[in-house]
Structure formats: structure tokens, C-alpha cells
Amino acid sequence: KMTRQSLIPLLGTILSDHREWFETKGNSGMFADLSEENLEEGNFEDTVLVEANFQGSNLHKSNFRNSDLRGANFHDARLTQVQFQNSNLEETDLMWADLKGANFDNVRLAGAYLQGADLRETNITKDQIQFSYIDEDTLLPNNILNKKI
């Protein structure tokens, strides 16, 4: 099996290409497909990653502060101890993602898909998940004991 080269050195280019793709409605730039990648401790602060694909990626301890992640795909991704402060995660797919220890300070989560997500040890609040989608497989932190939101 070939070992894949790390995309970390190329991140700056990938992120600016995706911003251009979003801002020109796909006429230029390039969509960011970062699925199944090891992006541990990646720095995505202040980025526009609307609809980007991170499915199945390892993003442990990554920094997504102040980022626009609307509609991004984090399905089944490892998002443990990720910094999401002040980010927009509206309509983001976080189904079956491991978010243990992630920081959700001032994060917008309306319409986010949290079915099966592991939100234990996070500071997510009832108000934040009120307009998102959860199910019986969503693992909520201790401060949200009442499942019926």
C-alpha cells in the first residue's frame, strides 16, 4: 500500500483555492476535498470552507477558529479537542464524528447534523443544539442531561 503524502504543506494553497471556488460560485479556484486525510493539528483559522469535504479525516487538535464551515462534510471525522470558537457550522454534517473535548464557544449550529456524534466533554449548550438534528445515538455532554430538548 502506498503511503500518501501529507497535504499539510499544501494546505495554504488548498484553502485559498477553495475560498476562490466559493466566492466565484465554482467558476475558478478549486473545491477542497480533504476526505480520509491525516490533518492532525491543522491550522484552518479564519478560513472559508463552505461545503468542503473532510469525511473520515483525522483533524485531532485542529484549529477552525473564526471559520465559515457551512454545509461542510465532517461525517465520521476525528474532531477531538478541535477549536471551533466563533465558527459557523450551520447545516454541517457532523454525523458519527468524534468531537470529544471540542470547543464550541460562540459556534452557530442551526441545521447541523449531529446524529451519532460524540459530544462528550464538550462545552456545547442546549441553546446551540436546539435547532440542530440529534438522535438517540448522539452522545451529549453531562451538562445536557435532558435528551428532550
pLDDT score, position 1: 52
For 97, the grid coordinates are: 464524528
pTM recorded for the entire structure: 0.91
What was the pLDDT predicted at 146?
57
**Alpha-carbon distance 118 to 4, whole Å?**
28
What are 46-68's pLDDT values in tens digits? 999 999 999 999 999 999 999 99
CA distance 148 to 54: 30
pLDDT band at 112 (very low <50, low <70, confident <90, very high): very high
Of 5-9, 39-43, 100-104, 134-138, the range with the lowest mean pLDDT is 5-9
Q: What are phi and psi of 5, to 5 degrees?
A: -70, 145
Contact 111, 93 (CB under 8 A): no
pLDDT digits (tens, 9 = 90+) for 129-148: 999 999 999 999 988 865 55
The whole-number average pLDDT for the span 111-133 is: 96
